[in-house]
Amino acid sequence: MKYSIVQRNKIIYEVNGLVKVKKYNFNGIKLYLNKYTLIPHPDTFQLIQIAIDVLKRNRRIKVIADVGTGSGVIAIFLAKKFPSKTFIASDISMEALDLAKKSSALNKLKNVIFLQNTNNIWLSEYKNMKIDFVISNPPFVGENEFNDTKFLQAYPEVKLEPLSAIITSGDKYGWNPYLQIIKNTNKLYILSWLFQCNSENIKFLLTKIPKIAKTKISVIKDINGFDRFLLIHKY
């Protein structure tokens, strides 16, 4: 397969060129994007900013998992900012991983490892690895919402995105990735979790998460004032 540094409109896609990132004065990164990768959403840059804050405040975090990395935007951005930390970026899509690896090389990064999830169970690819911080922007559209004709009318751009980035099979409400990640990371002695969500997910997830012992949970709003991010710390 031939790759080029393109967005769908054939121009170089510079993450740092987006207004919200410029505001925080990040170093620029270049990403390859194609039909197998989601175009990073503006909210994801806010997720990255929250992650930077967590990493600056908590020096114990050495190994970070970017689960469902897609284009690799989260891992690549953070790996450039924190060269002494190790990032393990995973995805179920080998095509997306292939491209993310190329973007990592394009940015001359040596601290990102890529892994494929081959069996659909969230986090199974990390097996017994030692991870300190889990970051994920998983597919969060439920099948019920996706199959409602109003959904594609409201978000026609979704038709151009890879389906595996939008929904996961059998997930009626868009909750499964979060619940599986939380359940499966609980065995791995994680210090922090950071998720990009929608408001409905957050309301539901908040009713489930207190089951993880000794955690502090923060809900962070996006720039439009909607509950969007969930940050969970173990103390």
Ligand X SMILES: C[S@@+](CC[C@H](N)C(=O)[O-])C[C@H]1O[C@@H](n2cnc3c(N)ncnc32)[C@H](O)[C@@H]1O
Residues that bind ligand X (CB under 6 A): 38, 40, 44, 67-71, 73-74, 90-93, 96, 117, 120, 122, 137-139, 164-165, 168
Please state whether beta strands 13-14 and 86-91 pair in parallel, antiparallel, or not at all (unpaired): unpaired
Judged by CB, which is closer to ligand X: 19, or 213?
A: 19
Task: Tell the smallest beta-carbon distance from residue 133 to ligand X (Å).
Answer: 15
Residue identified by tokens 């959904």 is 151
Task: Tell the smallest beta-carbon distance from residue 83 to ligand X (Å).
Answer: 20
Please state whether beta strands 215-221 and 227-234 pair in parallel, antiparallel, or not at all (unpaired): antiparallel
Task: Tell the smallest beta-carbon distance from residue 109 to ligand X (Å).
Answer: 16
Distance of CA 51 to the CA centre of its chain: 11
Distance between CA atoms of 55 and 224, rounded to whole angstroms? 25
SS3 letters across 105-141: HHCCCCCEEEEECCCCCCCHHHCCCCCCEEEECCCCC
Judged by CB, which is closer to ligand X: 47, or 232?
A: 47
Task: Tell the smallest beta-carbon distance from residue 181 to ligand X (Å).
Answer: 9
Judged by CB, which is closer to ligand X: 3, or 216?
A: 3
Judged by CB, which is closer to ligand X: 216, or 226?
A: 226
